[in-house]
Amino acid sequence: MKAFSIFLIFLGLLLFLSIFGFMNVTFGFLMGILFAILFGVEGIRELVNKNLIGIGGVLFSAFLIIRAFDLFGFSSSISQVFLAFIASYLIGIGLQILFKRSVKVNFWEKW
C-alpha cells in the first residue's frame, strides 16, 4: 500500500509540473510510467524469489522509463514496445533456463 501512495504522490507532482508548464504530461506518458512501475515491482519480486524471469520485468520497466522520458532521444512505436516486451521476457526465460539446475513444469501436478 505504501508503494501505491508513493505512486499517487509522484503522479500528483507530475500533474502540477504539467499545469505550470515545466513538463508536458499526457495520458500516454502516465500509462507508460504506471506500467513501468508495475513491471519493475513484479520483476524485483520475482528476483527476490530467485526467479531469473524477473529480469524480463526489470528490463521492460527500464525500456518504458526510457521511452516515457524520451531519454537519449529515443522514441518508439507501439509495435516496437510490443517487441521490447517479448524480447525482455525471452531474455529472462533464457537466463532462468540457463542458470536454474532443474526447471520442472509438470502440468498434471496442479490438477
Along the 111 residues of the chain, how does pLDDT read in single tens digits?
Answer: 687 788 788 888 888 888 888 877 788 888 888 889 889 989 999 989 888 889 999 999 999 989 888 888 877 888 998 999 999 999 998 988 888 755 455 555 555
User: Domain total for the chain?
Assistant: 1
Position 6 in a domain: no
Q: Is residue 110 domain-resident?
A: no
**Torsions phi, psi for 54 (to 5 deg):** -60, -20
Indicate yes or no: pTM above 0.85.
no
| 52/55 Cα distance (integer angstroms) | 6
Q: Which domain does 30 fall in, by range?
A: 26-101
